[in-house]
Amino acid sequence: DSGVTQTPKHLITATGQRVTLRCSPRSGDLSVYWYQQSLDQGLQFLIQYYNGEERAKGNILERFSAQQFPDLHSELNLSSLELGDSALYFCASGTANYGYTFGSGTRLTVV
């Protein structure tokens, strides 16, 4: 157990639907980072939150959004899902000087 908790582990949903992925960072970490891993794009940074505030944005689609709550857990919302959104979604917590720990991921399948 890495200390970063992600739920659910698997999601199967239809095109056009909306899903929410949840992440709790390691105890003591204030940041949450979201990454997408797909066969064609590899591992890509989506977005970072630090203590409730958005701090950095990567290649995140407008259909995707995230937030971090006062208890520091984060949710990644994916809407108007397309087949191409099927991927593994990871969250991570940590810092540059101590390294980043990844959760077990959520495998999203859009059918």
Partner 1 sequence: ELKVEQNPLFLSMQEGKNYTIYCNYSTTSDRLYWYRQDPGKSLESLFVLLSNGAVKQEGRLMASLDTKARLSTLHITAAVHDLSATYFCAVVNNAGNMLTFGGGTRLMVKP
Q: By CB under 8 A, name the binding residues for partner 1.
A: 2, 31, 33, 35, 42-45, 48, 50, 55-56, 58, 88, 90, 92, 95-105, 107
Shortest Cβ 17–partner 1 spacing (Å): 23
Shortest Cβ 69–partner 1 spacing (Å): 19
Angle CA(62)–CA(95)–CA(34) in degrees, nearest 5? 25
Phi, psi of 85, rounded to the nearest 5 degrees: -85, -10
Round to whole Å and give the CA distance between 9 and 50: 24
DSSP state of 18: -
Is the CB of 2 or the CB of 80 nearer to partner 1? Answer: 2
Is the CB of 65 or the CB of 79 nearer to partner 1? Answer: 65
Shortest Cβ 62–partner 1 spacing (Å): 19
Is the CB of 42 or the CB of 70 nearer to partner 1? Answer: 42
Round to whole Å and give the CA distance between 11 and 108: 5
The two tokens of residue 3 are 């200390």
53 alpha-carbon distance from chain centroid: 15
Is the CB of 15 or the CB of 59 nearer to partner 1? Answer: 59
